[in-house]
Structure 1
Amino acid sequence: MKPLLPQSQDGDGRNLLDRVEDAMLPLINLVFLLLLFFIVAGHLTDDPLPTLPGTAEEGESSAPKADMMVTADGDWQIGKQVVPREQLLQQLPRPDASRPLRIAADAGITLDDLESLLHTLEQAGYDKVTLLTEPRL
């Protein structure tokens, strides 16, 4: 059987494959050192990222304004005041086909509470309702 690589040897007795392996070793070392450098350099700073233009400052809410809010307890609030179910329709803005009613819902609200609210709003003539939620990052 004929060997795949020629067995030509240079003056020191090494073949071509040995010389290629020796030439690759400094390149492998360099890539490894660069990798270590970027890993260490990425962990050296504890400074937070600078605030981007147009982002909310700490303590500010960037959430859109809601016409009403439903809490996890099932309370209905308009302007941070709890509104009884009997007075809800008098406190809300009139139904408008061009602007949907915006409802902010707490993450702990049950589907039954939300369904009863939507049923009440549907009977009052609100055809379009937007449910506002906060994404979890």
Structure 2
Amino acid sequence: MRRIGSEDDRILPLINVVFLLLIFFMVAGRLAVADPFRVEPPRSANGVGADRGPAVVLIGADGRLALDGASVETGALAAAVAELRPEAVRVKADGAASAGLVVGVLRTLREAGVRQTQLLTIEDRR
């Protein structure tokens, strides 16, 4: 004689699969490094997708700077970049940041020996 299973017995495999998928996506999921402060890049007519570069300089709307996630004073940026010696640096500036500050940071990077600098923008699709 065959035993009739309860509702709980039929739903257990579904629960097991759901938990296995949950664990898989938790382990396989990509974790992004959070920026030390919020930056909203300006919009541009031509946009190019950006991969993670070897070094990133953040410029906040209030003039704060960060190099690879660590806050840096404006005067210490050249020394910090010289320590890292990156060939390329991506500059992610807030759209409300002073243009003079952005140009100054780009000049400092060039003088510190950075061969390639990229100013990241968001493509304006109007």
Q: TM-score range by the shorter chain?
A: 0.3 to 0.5
Highest CA radius of gyration, 1 or 2?
1
The structure that is strand-richer by fraction is 2
